[in-house]
Structure 1
Amino acid sequence: MSLAVQARALYGFSRGNQALLSIAQPLVGALLATDHPAPGRLAAAVFATAAAFFAVFAANDLFDARLDRRSAAMAHTRAAPDIDSAGGRHPLAQGRLRFAAGLAWVLLLGGIALAVAVALSWVCAVLFVCAALLEAAYCKLATVTAYKFLLSGAMVAIGACAGWFAFSGTVDPLRLGLLALWMAAWEIGGRNIPNDLADVAEDTPLGIKTVPIVYGPRAAARLSAALLLLTAATACALAVTAWPFYGAVGIAVTALTAIPTLVLPAAHLLRQPEPPTALTVFNRASFHPLGVLAAFVAGSLVV
Structure 2
Amino acid sequence: MYGLSRGTQATLSVAQPLVAALLADPSPPPGRLALATVGGLAGFLAVFATNDLMDAGVDKRRFGARLRADTGPDVDSAGARHPLAQGLLTRRFALGWIGGLSVLALVIGALLDPVCVLLFLLAALLQVLYCRLATVTPYKFLVSGVMVAVGACAGWFAFSTTVDPLPLALFVLWMFAWEIGGRNIPNDLADVTEDVRLGVRTVPVVYGSRVAVRVAVAFLLVAFAASGALAAVAWPVFGAVGLVGTVVVGALTLLRPALLLVRDPGAALRAFNLATFHPVGVLAALVAGLLLR
Q: Distance in 2 between matches of 1:218 and 1:78?
A: 23
Alignment of 1:75-114 (within 5 A): 75=66, 76-114=68-106
* Secondary structure of the corresponding residue to residue 72 of structure 2: coil
Structure 2 residue identity aligned to 1:111: V
Give the drift of 1:185. Answer: 0.3
Alignment of 1:137-286 (within 5 A): 137-274=129-266, 277-286=267-276
> CA-to-partner distance for each residue in 1:132-162, whole Å, 9 max, x for gaps?
0000000001000000111100000011111
Give the drift of 1:31. Answer: 0.8
Gaps of 5+ in 1: 1-9
Query: Given that residues 189 and 228 in structure 1 are in contact (C-alpha distance below 8 angstroms), is that contact kept between their aligned partners in structure 2?
Result: yes
Q: Distance in 1 between matches of 2:82 and 2:221?
A: 31
Map of 1:17 onto structure 2: 8
Give the drift of 1:203. Answer: 1.1
Of residues 82-91 and 289-298 in structure 1, the stretch that sits farther from structure 2 once superposed is 82-91
> CA-to-partner distance for each residue in 1:75-104, whole Å, 9 max, x for gaps?
121322211111121010001111111111
Map of 1:58 onto structure 2: 49
Q: Distance in 2 between matches of 1:278 and 1:74?
A: 23
Query: Given that residues 45 and 166 in structure 1 are in contact (C-alpha distance below 8 angstroms), is that contact kept between their aligned partners in structure 2?
Result: yes
**Residue number among 56, 63, 67 corresponding to 1:72 in the alignment:** 63
Give the drift of 1:196. Answer: 0.5
Give the drift of 1:176. Answer: 1.0
**Residue number among 280, 287, 293 corresponding to 1:290 in the alignment:** 280
Q: Distance in 2 between matches of 1:159 and 1:62?
A: 19
Q: Distance in 1 between matches of 2:139 and 2:228?
A: 27
Map of 1:132 onto structure 2: 124
Q: Distance in 2 between matches of 1:148 and 1:244?
A: 37
Structure 1 residue identity aligned to 2:15: A
Give the drift of 1:164. Answer: 0.3
Give the drift of 1:71. Answer: 1.0
User: How many residues are aligned here?
Assistant: 292
Q: Distance in 1 between matches of 2:69 and 2:265?
A: 18
Report the aligned-residue RMSD: 0.7
Give the drift of 1:172. Answer: 1.1
> CA-to-partner distance for each residue in 1:50-77, whole Å, 9 max, x for gaps?
0000000000010111111111101121
Of residues 127-136 and 242-251 in structure 1, the stretch that sits farther from structure 2 once superposed is 242-251
Q: Distance in 2 between matches of 1:202 and 1:102?
A: 25
Q: Distance in 1 between matches of 2:42 and 2:32?
A: 15
Q: Which of structure 1's runs of 4+ aligned residues deviate more than 2 A?
A: none
Gaps of 5+ in 2: none
Provide the TM-score with structure 2 as the length reference.
Answer: 0.98
Map of 1:117 onto structure 2: 109
Q: Distance in 1 between matches of 2:29 and 2:190?
A: 41
Query: Given that residues 49 and 113 in structure 1 are in contact (C-alpha distance below 8 angstroms), is that contact kept between their aligned partners in structure 2?
Result: yes
Give the drift of 1:229. Answer: 1.2
Q: Distance in 2 between matches of 1:208 and 1:130?
A: 24
Map of 1:6 onto structure 2: none
Give the drift of 1:240. Answer: 0.8
Structure 2 residue identity aligned to 1:246: F
Q: Distance in 1 between matches of 2:182 and 2:237?
A: 27
* Secondary structure of the corresponding residue to residue 140 of structure 2: helix
Give the drift of 1:260. Answer: 1.3
Structure 1 residue identity aligned to 2:20: G
Provide the TM-score with structure 1 as the length reference.
Answer: 0.95
Q: Distance in 2 between matches of 1:71 and 1:102?
A: 20
Query: Given that residues 78 and 199 in structure 1 are in contact (C-alpha distance below 8 angstroms), is that contact kept between their aligned partners in structure 2?
Result: no
Q: Distance in 2 between matches of 1:268 and 1:299?
A: 30
